[in-house]
Amino acid sequence: MKNAYIEYENVFLSPFASRSAETKGRLSDIPPCDVRTEFQRDRDRILHSKSFRRLKHKTQVFLSPHGDHYRTRLTHTLEVTQIARTISRALSLNEDLTEAIGLGHDLGHTPFGHIGERTLSELTGHFKHNEQSLRVVDVIENEGKGLNLTFEVRDGILNHCIDGRPSTLEGAVVSLSDRIAYINHDIDDAIRAGVLSETDIPKTVIDLIGNRRGNMIDAFVKDVITVSADSPEIKQSEPYKQALSVLRSFMYERVYKNHLALETEAKTHKMLTLLFNYYMQNVNDVPTSYMIKTTEKKIFIADYIAGMTDNFAIKVFNDIFVPRSWENL
């Protein structure tokens, strides 16, 4: 059977787009699929992974157990992917590659958001969630066999951070979409939590794009599409680039580093530190599936803790450190 979508890519995609038939390949070769392109297969492998399902119980900014309507790492991932697909489709880029990178970009994120990431980095000497996301799809998932994704998806996952240099335009779209998504939805969540009001948003930004979240995202997306059309680069106009930077600085000052966030950070840091040190002394309590690819304790303990959801980390901490009555033992 001839794969019709490969022909579609050749005819309709931009000359700057990635084509699935020209992929640089996988870590291990597999037979081609009759009905899906290689990037569609990667998307499906990520979507059906355990790491992807666990994102629904991992914190974005506001602790998810404290409210049903706040973003979790999963809803953040879906919003990033939706924004990135919109941009890719408008620019005639490879939407399947974009979707796969978007769905996989945060698979390695820790419980409790960037607080957990900073704690594991301090405890191990080096930990970055983008590198851990690549480790998840290469090593940890599928009982240590990994997901065997294509080079282009793996590259986009690794390089989605602000200082990354993706080798494809689709990866660059996801990287920028990540920033557009989290800044806008974190503002929405902060307003819902009473940490901010709409009138707090910097006036220079409001004058450019307004203060309604849907309008703000729409304005950023249309700017990227307009400026990047028929270009071998994904970019923003200078006013919108500056507006995104202003919003990012504003959120760090008013939300990410406010007194409530710092109080939560201290508690989370202490909890994860106690868990990490416990496992350093009780290695046999770490599931053996995390020891398949490395014998270095710090690495497989970090793998295990990074894979925990917020709720599971709290449960494990309580089981280990919080006394229980005898009848509950």
Q: For 148-180, what is each residue's pLDDT tens digit?
A: 999 999 999 999 998 999 999 999 999 999 999
Burial of residue 126 (CB within 10 Å: 0-12, 13-18, 19+) is: exposed
> Is the pLDDT assigned to residue 63 strictly greater than 90?
no
Lowest mean pLDDT among 29-33, 40-44, 101-105: 29-33
Percent over 70 (pLDDT), the chain:
96
The predicted structure's pLDDT at residue 254: 93
Mean pLDDT over 246-260 rounds to 90
Instruction: Match domain 37-271 to its CATH number in 1.20.1250.20, 1.20.1050.10, 2.170.190.11, 1.10.3210.10.
Output: 1.10.3210.10
Structure confidence at residue 65 (pLDDT): 54
pLDDT number for residue 296: 93
**pLDDT score, position 213:** 67
Global confidence as pTM: 0.95
Mean pLDDT within 210-239: 92
Which of 113, 134, 99 minimizes the C-alpha distance to 27?
A: 134
**pLDDT band (50, 70, 90) for residue 38:** very high
- Annotate 232-250 with b (16+ C-beta within 10 A) or e (fewer): eebebeeebbebbebbbeb
d(CA 2, CA 8): 12
For the chain, domain boundaries: 37-271
Please list, in sequence order, all residues whose beta carbon lies within 8 angstroms of the beta carbon of residue 24, skipping any fewer than 6 positions away: 150, 151, 152
In this structure, are residues 302 and 124 in contact, taking their beta carbons and an 8 Å threshold?
yes
User: Percent of the chain scored above 90 by pLDDT?
Assistant: 78
